[in-house]
Chain A
């Protein structure tokens, strides 16, 4: 298959990430089938791409339709209920600021802690003698590091990764929450 089409399908698949793998694969398989049928039907590459539209929009069409039905997933229910009550402004006053602060702070902290530890490690390796290095560290007794800098760097990487992951999760939750509120508002025609 043509490179442009492969790229198109890859982009659609990327935007379908919120869906389980089996669904994503099935959707892409069906669209690919369509493309091949259109090629057989003597449509030009341009015509085919025009008909399919932007890959992002195509993916959104699938996501929008699927988000519309609530499955038995209880966490979704909890959020929907929160969104429902937040239309009156209650939980929104809590959820939005908390998530809105947690998300960037965790991500920034995660990145910074790795960077700081990288600096300390560089100082150690190259014996640069940078000042304040003893202030960077996690496992120290009376100002003396217990772990060697390589170990500390590795620990920083792990903790940084966890923080970034949590921050991203908080961000996704926040977005999901806002979408749910928007949809609930629409459904209630408020």
Chain B
């Protein structure tokens, strides 16, 4: 039984939400976000998925970004943080996420009662 297709769909659907949740906690640079995501097997992604997504969120004004030079031997890094619009966006996403989880709990619960 292969769940890979479904898992990748779920990952694709929630990646934006996960990244915004991360940035809500702290300002991060692109590579750092990839490192953090790789801690969670289902969310592990590469540059080609995450970087264009960050760029789009930036264009849509949910994020703001700035370049900062790093220590010796390390490249300059582009740091991303949430704008007030982004804060509101992720809050609303969390509400919808709660609704989804509740729906799933209900659907699971009904089966157990049978």
Contact = CB atoms under 8 A, between A and B. Distances in A.
Interface of A: 26-27, 29-34, 36-38, 40, 51-53, 57-58, 61-62, 64-66, 68-69
Given A33-B76, A33-B77, A33-B78, A58 B48 contact: yes
Nearest to B52: A65
A64 B5 CA distance: 22
Given A30-B30, A53-B46, A65 B55 contact: yes
A66 B55 contact: yes
B60 interface: yes
A68 B55 CA distance: 12
Interface string B38-54: 00000000111101110
16 contacts: A27-B51, A31-B47, A32-B75, A33-B75, A36-B75, A37-B31, A37-B74, A37-B75, A40-B73, A57-B48, A58-B48, A62-B51, A62-B52, A62-B55, A65-B52, A66-B55
Given A33-B76, A34-B31, 6 more contacts: A29-B67, A33-B77, A51-B46, A52-B46, A57-B48, A69-B60
Nearest to B77: A33
B75 A53 contact: no
Contacts of B59: 66, 69
Interface in B36-91: 46-49, 51-53, 55-56, 59-60, 67, 73-78
Size band of the interface chain B makes with A:
20 to 34
A157 to B, nearest CB: 41
A62 B48 CA distance: 8
Interface string B13-44: 00000000000000001110010000000000
Given A29-B76, A40-B73, A69-B60, A34 B47 contact: yes
Q: Is the interface of A mostly helix, strand, loop or mixed?
A: helix
B78 A61 contact: no
Contacts of A30: 30, 51, 78
Contacts of B30: 30, 33-34
A7 to B, nearest CB: 17
Contacts of A53: 46, 48
A21 B93 CA distance: 34
A36 B51 contact: no
B74 A51 contact: no
Nearest to B29: A33
Contacts of A34: 30-31, 34, 47, 51
